Amino acid sequence: MRLAVINDEVSQSITTAAVETARLGFAGLELRSSEETAPHRMSDTHLRTLRETVARHGLEVAGFDPPALKCPLPRTGAEIDAVRDMVADAVRRAGLLGAPFVRIFTFYREGDPDPRAAAKAAREVLTQLPAGRVPLIVETGMRTNTPTMRHTLEFLDALGDDTTGVLWDPGNSVFSGWDTAPFPADYAAGRDRIRHVHVKDPDGQRSYVRLGDGDLPWPAILTTLAEDGYQGWLSLETHWRVGRPPLTQSQRDEPWGGAFTAGGLEASRTCMTILREMVEATS
């Protein structure tokens, strides 16, 4: 297992994020916003600077997190075209970054999750993407049509694409209210398709807290991942802040810029240390 952190959970400065990441013994940065710019609005020059800075500090790009398919279910041809253009652009940007994947969602749900309706719309978007592209992975998303692993597997089954993996974020499953205990059963159902793991700790549906203080049994999860031979990234998505109120829903929906990052440096330092110690305890 390799340790990473999402850069804007640490700092809007990619240099500061890289320095802290390397200092704390992590190997990668998962890239989202930087210098007050959302991932899907960065210039090519900005993207190349991110890649060069990550490499200069001896780190790897652990993933790329644009808001692809993080929108209402498209209903018209024009809406489908707009979503397709965003995903195609995200894939292009990921190539510039040298990212191993593009994280995608499954559209905001309307009422109960509807993975099959989401998959039908996603097929129209994804089938026209070029072959040989950067891989896509589907996140278990708090407000999307796949808040749990079982919803995500239903989505992938309906999508009919065996190459698309899962970004397992059990914190999202708890925070969504759809699965208050996603380990071990939810994990076991989809472990063969997990390609990436986001690490954060929810306190029910109230807020995120310091890693180890919330509802998820992270030591047991990490031990099981190690025993199962998981070789992917464990990427900290802190979502807890020091010296400020909890993140709002709008900040979690659009997690970029200083309003999102403020208070994250101290919180992420603390959680990175805890996560590293938890992983070391599994060996």
Give phi and psi for 130, each to the nearest 5.
-65, 150
pLDDT reading at 54 higher than 90: yes
Rounded Cα gap, residues 29 and 20, in angstroms: 10
pLDDT band at 275, cuts 50/70/90? very high
The whole-number pLDDT of residue 133 equals 83
Q: Tell me the pTM.
A: 0.97
User: With 80 as the cut, is the pLDDT of residue 16 above it?
Assistant: yes
pLDDT at 13 over 80: yes
pLDDT at 150 over 90: yes
| pLDDT level of residue 66 (50, 70, 90 thresholds) | very high
Average pLDDT value for the chain: 96
Q: Per-residue pLDDT for 132 more than 80?
A: no
Q: Is pLDDT of 131 > 80?
A: no
User: Which pLDDT score is estimated for 139?
Assistant: 98
What average pLDDT does this structure show over 155-180?
95
Q: Is the pLDDT score of 44 beyond 80?
A: yes
Residue 115 scores a pLDDT above 90: yes
Quote the CA–CA distance of 263 and 132 in Å, as a whole number. Answer: 39
In angstroms, the Cα distances linking 25 to 58, 157, 255 are: 11, 38, 25
Sorting pLDDT into bands at 50, 70 and 90, what band is 19? very high
Q: What are the start-end ranges of the H helices in 24-148? A: 44-56, 77-97, 115-126
For residue 147, pLDDT beyond 80 = yes
**Per-residue pLDDT at 109:** 96
Q: Is the pLDDT of residue 130 over 80?
A: no
Give the pLDDT band of residue 161 (cuts 50, 70, 90): confident
Question: Cβ distance 6 to 32 under 8 Å?
Answer: yes
pLDDT at 224: 98
For residue 37, how many C-alpha atoms fall within 13 Å in the half-sphere facing its CB? 15
Alpha-carbon dihedral angle through residues 159, 161, 167, 172, given to the nearest 10 degrees: 10
CB-based burial, 169-199: b 16+ in 10 Å, e otherwise:
bbbbbbbbebbeebbeebbeebbebbbbbbb
The fraction of the chain above a pLDDT of 90, given in percent, is: 95
pLDDT of residue 128: 78
